[in-house]
Amino acid sequence: MDQISGTVALVGRPNVGKSTLFNKLTKTRDALVANVPGLTRDRRYGVLSSADKSIRLIDTGGVFGDHELSDVLFEQTLVAVKESDLVVLLFDGREGITAVDQEIVDYLRSQNIDFLPVINKVDGVSRDQLVSEFSLFGFDDLAFISSAHGIGVSHFVDRLSSSFENSSIEPDSEVQEKGTRVAVIGRPNVGKSTLVNRLIGEDRQVVFDMPGTTKDSIDIPFNLEGADYVLIDTAGVRRKGKVSEITEKFSVVKALDAMERAQVAILVLDAQEGVVDQDLHILEYALSVGCGLIIAVNKWDGLDRDQKEQANKSLERKLSFIPWVIVKRISALHGSGVGHLFSEVEAVKVAGEFEVSTSYLSRVLEALVQAHPAPSIRGRNIRLKVATRAGSFPPRIAIHGNQLKELPGSYKRYLENGFRERLDLIGNPVFIDFRDSENPFAGRRNELTRKQKNRRTRIIRHKKRRQRRQ
C-alpha cells in the first residue's frame, strides 16, 4: 500500500465542480465515494493514487454566501483547511468571478493560507478571456481544467504530486517491524476498546487510561501464541452533525490514517443497531485504501433468538456486495467468539501477502478467459496475454495485453472476482492494473526497398499513360 504523501482540501463556492473533480481524481462513482458524514454535511474523503504516491483528498461543501447552512459549512470547511497540507481553490470558468469568489480569496489571504487556484469548466471558453478576467486576483499561476471532460486533469495531478515530492506520512518504523498491523475501526460506542482489551488481556488496561486515548490512534504491540501483532485502537467516526470538538475532528483523520497503514482492519458493528450508513461509509473507505477486512458484529449475546434471525437477514442483505469478507458474531465484553478472531486475521493477512508466481497467475488468467472470453471491440479481439504479481496489501495484479482500455467494467469485475475466488484471497480487495502492450512499430516509418521503389515508379508511370490515352 502506498504511503500517504499529504492531504489536499478542495474548496470553493457551491457548484464549481468540487465533487466532480473529487470523483475524477479518486476514480470513484457517486455511490462508491468514501463519505465520512461524521465531519460535516457533504464532506467526503478519498485517495488519489498517482505514480508511486498517494494523496488524501477532502471534498468540502460549498461555503460562503447567504445559504442557511453557510455558517455550518464554513466551520467544517475551515477544519478541512487546517487538516490539509494544500488547499485547492476552484472557480467556475463559465460563470467567471463572483462576489463569493472574492470573499473566499480574501479570507484565505487574510489567514495566510497557501492555496492553488484552479479554474474549472474551461471547455468552450477562451483561455485568453479567462486569464484576463482572473488577473483581477493577481495570481502568479493558474491551472485550467474541465473535470467533467478530463481536460487538463492529468497535468493538474502532476502538479499536485510535485507539491509532495519529498513528503510522506511515515508510520513508526520501530512498531511497524514488530508484527502484523491490525486496526480496530468503527463508530463510537460499538465496543472497539472493549474488544482491544479482550484481545490483549486485562493486564494491559492501563494503556487505555492515558490522556488522549479516545482522541488519537494508539499502537499497542503484543504477542499471541508466538505471533507478533500491533493493534491500532482508533477513535470512533461519528455520524454527521455529531462532531463538534475540534480535537475530535482531527481524531477522525487519525482513524483514516490507521486504515491506510494497517494490513488488516476489524470493523466493529453493533448487533443491536445493525448495519447503518456510517458503517458502510467506513467500510468503503477501508476497502478503497486496500485494507484486508474482517467484520465483527459485537454485542451478539444481547439479542434473543428472533432478533438474531432478523439481524442475520439484515447482515446478509446489506453486506451482499462483499461476500468475500469474513463476518464474525462476537461479544467483546464476555469474550464469546473473540478467541477465534485472530485465526481469521492471520488468514486474511496471509492472503494479503499474495505470494504467487507469474506462471500460476497466467494460468489462472488463461482459465478465466477460456471460461468467459473477452468481448470483441469493433470487430477486433481484446487479447489478455500475461498476468503478473504487482504488489501485496492489497493483492495487486498486472494484466498485459492489447486494447485493454476497451474492456467493459463488467468484464473487469469478472476478472477481479475470478482471481479472488481461484486464489482464495479471502477478506482482501483485489486491485488489477491493465497494461496495454506498446506497438514496437509506433512512430517508425516503413522504408521501401530499392525493388519496391522501382515497382512503385513503374505503376505510377503506367497510370499516367492510361490517363493520357483516355
Give the DSSP letter string of 49-103: EETTEEEEEEE----SSS-TTHHHHHHHHHHHHHH-SEEEEEEETTT---HHHHH
- What is the distance between the terminal CA atoms of the chain, rounded to a whole angstrom? 73
Question: Three cell numbers at 160?
Answer: 499536485
Question: Three cell numbers at 383?
Answer: 487479447
What pLDDT score does 352 carry? 93
Instruction: Please list, in sequence order, all residues whose beta carbon lies within 8 angstroms of the beta carbon of residue 314, skipping any fewer than 6 positions away.
Output: 274, 275
In contact, 264 and 294? CB cutoff 8 Å: yes
Maximum distance among all alpha carbons in the chain? 107
What pLDDT score does 331 carry? 93
The conformation of residue 374, written as its DSSP 8-state character, comes to: P
What pLDDT score does 139 carry? 87
What pLDDT score does 51 carry? 65
Lay out the sheet containing 431-436: strands in order across.
383-391, 396-402, 431-436
In contact, 126 and 144? CB cutoff 8 Å: no
If phi > 0 it is left, if psi is from -120 to 50 it is alpha, else beta; for residue 468 that is: alpha
In contact, 424 and 353? CB cutoff 8 Å: no
Mean pLDDT by 10 residues, the chain (470 residues): 76 86 76 34 68 79 56 70 88 90 89 90 87 87 88 89 66 52 88 85 39 53 82 67 47 75 93 90 87 94 93 94 94 88 92 92 94 86 90 92 89 94 93 79 71 88 84
Compute, in degrees rounded to 10, the torsion defined by CA atoms 49, 51, 54, 56: -60
What pLDDT score does 236 carry? 62
H or E element at residue 256: helix 246-261
What pLDDT score does 228 carry? 86
Amino acid at 189: N
In contact, 377 and 406? CB cutoff 8 Å: yes
In contact, 290 and 262? CB cutoff 8 Å: no
Compute, in degrees rounded to 10, the torsion defined by CA atoms 20, 21, 26, 27: 60
Compute, in degrees rounded to 10, the torsion defined by CA atoms 25, 26, 32, 34: -120
